[in-house]
Amino acid sequence: MYSNIIYNEFDKIIKIMQTFIKTENYVNKIQSAAKLISNAFKAEGKVLSCGNGGSHCNAMHFAEELTGRYRANRPGYPAIVISDPSYLSCVSNDFGYENIFARFIESVGKSTDILFAISSSGKSKNILKAITSAYNIGMKVIFLTGDGSCKQISNYVNVEICIPYAEYLDYVQEIHIKIIHTIILIVEKEMLI
């Protein structure tokens, strides 16, 4: 009954993924992101991650894979997702929702740290403010976006990985999770060097 829908959903994500991976620049960007993170860990820095909605779930998954494990047992790596409900409600009430991530970064971020920011549209005001705050502290910034990424923030970002698609953001989020897993796999290898 729904076989055409199922086929079309998988076919669409495969085509977007093929378009994405054909550009070698993306391969270099994923490698660069992984090396930034592993270098931060080696320098006793940490990675802070953030996002909204489905991107928030990806940011959480990213942090738990680093602190827990991905494919093999190894030491946990210092990763924190900005997700504490009481913190989020407190800061959004007192300072506005657009400041929830920036305020956290300003409170605990160090120049040796990395911000791993995710916005499927590239337009989330609270993510853009977080990027600016991280930049002002001297943190390195990795930004996962969709086709609507903001050009005005590009000077504040060390690595931007933008999925070349913007119609339905769930496709962008699905590719983001594969990128996240690939980055973690490379981080694990880099930490052995």
Render 55-78 in DSSP notation, one character per residue.
HHHHHHHHHHHHHS-SSS------
Torsion, Cα of 49, 148, 174, 17 (10° steps): -130
Taking the C-alpha atoms of residue 74 and residue 188, their distance in angstroms, rounded to an integer, is 8
Domain boundaries, the chain: 3-190
DSSP state, residue 140: E
* Tokens, residue 140: 């390195």
Nearest partner of 192 among 111, 72, 104, 84, judged by Cα: 72
pLDDT of residue 94: 96
Q: Which residue has the tokens 């913007």?
A: 166
117 forms bridges with which residues in the sheet? Answer: 50, 143
CA angle 86, 107, 154 (to 5 degrees): 105
Q: What is the mean pLDDT of residues 87-105?
A: 96
Around Cβ 78, how many Cβ atoms within 10 Å?
15
Q: Which long-range contacts (CB under 8 A, 24 or more apart) does 25-29 make?
A: 26/161, 29/159, 29/160, 29/161
3-class secondary-structure state, position 147? coil
Domain spanning 3-190: which CATH class is it, in words? alpha beta
pLDDT in tens, 149-160: 556 677 899 999
Above pLDDT 70, what percent of the chain?
A: 97
Asked if 142 and 36 count as a contact pair (C-beta separation under 8 A), the reply is yes
Q: What are phi and psi of 54, to 5 degrees?
A: -60, -35
Q: What is the mean pLDDT of residues 83-104?
A: 96
3-class secondary-structure state, position 84? coil
pLDDT in tens, 10-25: 998 898 888 888 877 8
